[in-house]
């Protein structure tokens, strides 16, 4: 029946005008909604970019003859008179993993039609993401101000450490920041009831982006902080 409707629509508006009308009316040519398909295509392109960054990092790390800084020492913080390795990174990772859980709950309540709980969970996810970005800003400040690390030099060893670290974590941090804004906008529209008639598929699409950002951090965590 759907194919017949599409065929009749094409006969009514042939040529370029028919194509424009089909796209403008959000015709679905595949069993996947356009919004979800476009998000997957965007995430696929991002996978290529992050993969290139991480492969470049591995290549530099393996090929350099200059000693590489020890992550457990570089990213240690002094608390209560003791140096605790990777404590800030562990908290940041826990926050992102928790945010994936709240985002998954938001999708679940969205498909149930509970817009207030959905909006609330999305705002909690955005707040967790914002706290992650704030901690990353603190981490950068510590490296730049206290340790003297720059993209072009590193007093603790290989200069490539600074360039790869700021490039990859900065690119990821930008994604998290965009995700926080994205979550806030969609949460506001969900709470306002803009998707009551169309359904809450946009919440799942937003969740795809956020889960991807969290997954990428797992790889960054493993490559930068544990290797």
Same domain, 7 and 76: no
Same domain, 209 and 176: yes
Q: What does the pLDDT average to over 170-180?
A: 97
Banded pLDDT at 23 (limits 50, 70, 90)? low
Same domain, 99 and 16: no
CA distances from 68 to 21, 29, 35, 121, 148 (A): 58, 52, 43, 41, 15
153: β partners: 150
Between these two residues, 96 and 13, which has the higher pLDDT value?
96
- Residue 119 has a pLDDT of 96
- Residue 80 has a pLDDT of 78
Look up the domain containing 76 and give its range. Answer: 33-225
Same domain, 78 and 186: yes
Same domain, 27 and 76: no
* Three-state secondary-structure class, residue 180: helix
Non-local CB neighbours of 180 within 8 Å, separated by 6+ positions: 126, 129, 130, 133
Q: Domain total for the chain?
A: 2
Tell me what the pLDDT averaged over the chain comes to. Answer: 87
Helix (H) or strand (E) holding 63: helix 34-63
pLDDT in tens, 147-166: 899 988 888 888 899 999 99
Cβ atoms of 200 and 113 within 8 Å: the answer is yes
Same domain, 133 and 90: yes
Interior/surface letters 194-209, b for 16+ CB within 10 angstroms, e for the rest: ebeeeebebbbbbbbb
Same domain, 77 and 102: yes
Banded pLDDT at 71 (limits 50, 70, 90)? confident
- Residue 11 has a pLDDT of 41
Same domain, 124 and 209: yes
d(Cα 51, Cα 43) in Å, to the nearest integer? 12
pLDDT at 131 over 50: yes
CATH number for the domain that contains residue 173: 1.20.120.80
Q: What does the pLDDT average to over 174-183?
A: 97
Same domain, 19 and 77: no
Same domain, 25 and 55: no
Whole-model pTM: value is 0.83
Range with the lowest mean pLDDT among 7-16, 35-44, 176-185, 193-202?
A: 7-16
Share of the chain above pLDDT 90, in %: 58
Same domain, 85 and 96: yes
pLDDT at 132 over 80: yes
Same domain, 21 and 103: no
């Amino acid at each position: 029946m759907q194919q017949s409707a599409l065929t009749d629509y094409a006969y009514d508006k042939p040529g370029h005008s028919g194509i424009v009308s089909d796209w403008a009316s959000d015709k679905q040519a595949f069993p996947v909604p356009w919004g979800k398909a476009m998000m997957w295509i965007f995430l696929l392109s991002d996978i290529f970019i992050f993969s290139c960054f991480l492969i470049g990092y591995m290549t530099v790390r393996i090929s350099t003859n200059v000693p590489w800084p020890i992550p457990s020492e570089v990213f240690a913080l002094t608390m209560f008179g003791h140096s605790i390795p990777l404590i800030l990174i562990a908290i940041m990772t826990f926050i992102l993993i928790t945010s994936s859980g709240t985002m998954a709950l938001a999708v679940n309540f969205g498909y149930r039609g509970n817009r207030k709980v959905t909006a609330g969970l999305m705002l909690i996810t955005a707040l967790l993401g914002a706290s992650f970005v704030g901690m990353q800003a603190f981490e950068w400040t510590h490296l730049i101000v206290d340790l003297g690390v720059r993209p072009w030099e590193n007093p603790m060893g290989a200069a490539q450490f600074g360039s790869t670290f700021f490039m990859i974590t900065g690119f990821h941090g930008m994604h998290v920041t965009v995700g926080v804004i994205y979550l806030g906008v969609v949460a506001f529209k969900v709470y306002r009831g803009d998707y009551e008639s169309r359904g809450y598929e946009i919440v799942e699409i937003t969740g795809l982006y956020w889960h991807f950002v969290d997954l990428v951090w797992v790889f960054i965590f493993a490559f930068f902080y544990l290797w």
